[in-house]
Amino acid sequence: MSDAPDALEPIRIVALYHFTPFEDPAALRGPLLELCEKEGIKGILLLAREGINGTIAGTDEGMERVMAHIRALPGCADLESKDSRAPELPFRRMKVRLKKEIVTMGEPDIDPRQGVGRYVAPEDWNALISDPDTILIDTRNDYEVAIGTFKGAEDPKTKSFREFPEWFRRRRQELEAKGRLPKIAMFCTGGIRCEKSTSFARAEGVDEVYHLKGGILKYLETVPEEESLWEGECFVFDQRVSVKHGLEIGTHDVCHACRRPLNAHDKASPLFIQGVSCPHCHNERTEEQRRRYAERERQEALAQARRAGHLGVRQK
């Protein structure tokens, strides 16, 4: 990405995941968190017995040391990551959390190390999804799909990834009732959900399953916009909120109450109050919750006014 418009931005953002057996994830947490804090790295990493997942950001020098530490963890030598850049840290703090799964599907017998769908490189993806025999499935949640997806993709309208297996079984029955045994292509933000969703599909007896290698982020980085079949922006789980082709920062904001993405129309709504509510969550919250959110927003505004570094090493 050295020739990208944001190549000189000071902050390096790394999205990573790797399925590998960790016998004692808790023993890995302390040293990893300590190093991240020492190097000024912000973001979130998840550790589980099945591996590691997360997105972190910091300076190039700090990130090199942290990534070297991560690749030295058991089974992580060939861990792949996706880099992008930003003018400031897109996270406020550093968290390393212990989880049962690094991406929660709720299917304990699914192990991507035992087999996943066939990887498709971004440059070959358009040909696959343009085939009328291909069923294209967006494995992300409804609020992510709402701001952008591939042309012709099916939206499962899931609130969480736990709902995906039930949706998939139901959709498969519908297709088979019509006499269809199609090719299935799946995609997600960075690839990790598809490791599990395609592994799940194969465990359900579906053989011809494909997924986008590197996810939407790799596609937007690799495929020229004039050749792209992507429509809209891609939601990301940090304060950039969304990215466009070339991984440029998108136009969306985020509701600090419900974490859903917001466009200009949402923010023009009378139900939008900065840090307190938006049209998506106004009726989901109590007055007491909104009072707490308002106080939190006030405290963060005060901290920013004191240049307390809530948004990282460089303030806009």
Could you confirm whether 281 is annotated as catalytic?
Answer: no
What is the model's pTM? 0.85
Structure tokens at 266: 């949402």
Active-site annotation holder among 188, 194, 234, 255: 188
**What's at 22, amino acid-wise?**
F
CA distance readout (Å), 256 to 12, 33, 83, 262, 296? 24, 25, 25, 10, 10
Burial class (CB in 10 A: 0-12, 13-18, 19+), 140: buried
What does the longest C-alpha to C-alpha distance in the chain come to? Answer: 65
Q: What is the reported pLDDT for 301? A: 80
Q: Which residue in 310, 215, 219, 209 sits closest to 256, CA to CA?
A: 310
Per-residue pLDDT of the chain (316 residues; tens, 9 = 90+): 444 444 568 999 999 999 999 999 999 999 999 999 999 999 999 999 999 999 999 999 999 999 999 999 999 999 989 898 889 999 989 999 999 999 999 998 999 999 999 999 999 999 999 999 999 999 999 999 999 999 999 999 999 999 999 999 999 999 989 887 779 999 999 999 999 999 999 999 998 999 999 999 999 999 999 999 999 999 998 889 999 999 999 999 999 899 899 999 999 999 999 989 999 999 998 999 999 999 988 887 887 777 554 444 443 3
Which of 232-251 are b and which e, b meaning 16 or more Cβ less than 10 Å from the residue's Cβ? ebbbbbbbbbbbbbebebbe
Angle between the N-to-C axes of helices 60-71 and 25-38, in degrees from 0 to 180, rounded to the nearest 10? 160
**Regarding the domain with residue range 112-232, which homologous superfamily does it belong to in the CATH classification?**
Rhodanese-like domain (3.40.250.10)
Residue with the two structure tokens 């592994």? 199
Q: What is the reported pLDDT for 4? A: 45
Q: Report domain extents, the chain.
A: 11-98, 112-232, 252-305
What is the rounded CA–CA span in Å between residue 221 and residue 31?
Answer: 32
- Give the CATH fold of the 11-98 domain: Alpha-Beta Plaits (3.30.70)
DSSP β-ladder status, 42-48 and 51-58: antiparallel
CA 216 to chain centre: 9
Q: Which residue in 191, 9, 208 sits closest to 89, CA to CA?
A: 9
Rg of the Cα atoms in the chain? 20
**Torsion sign across C-alpha atoms 297, 103, 11, 22:** positive
Q: What is the reported pLDDT for 11? A: 94
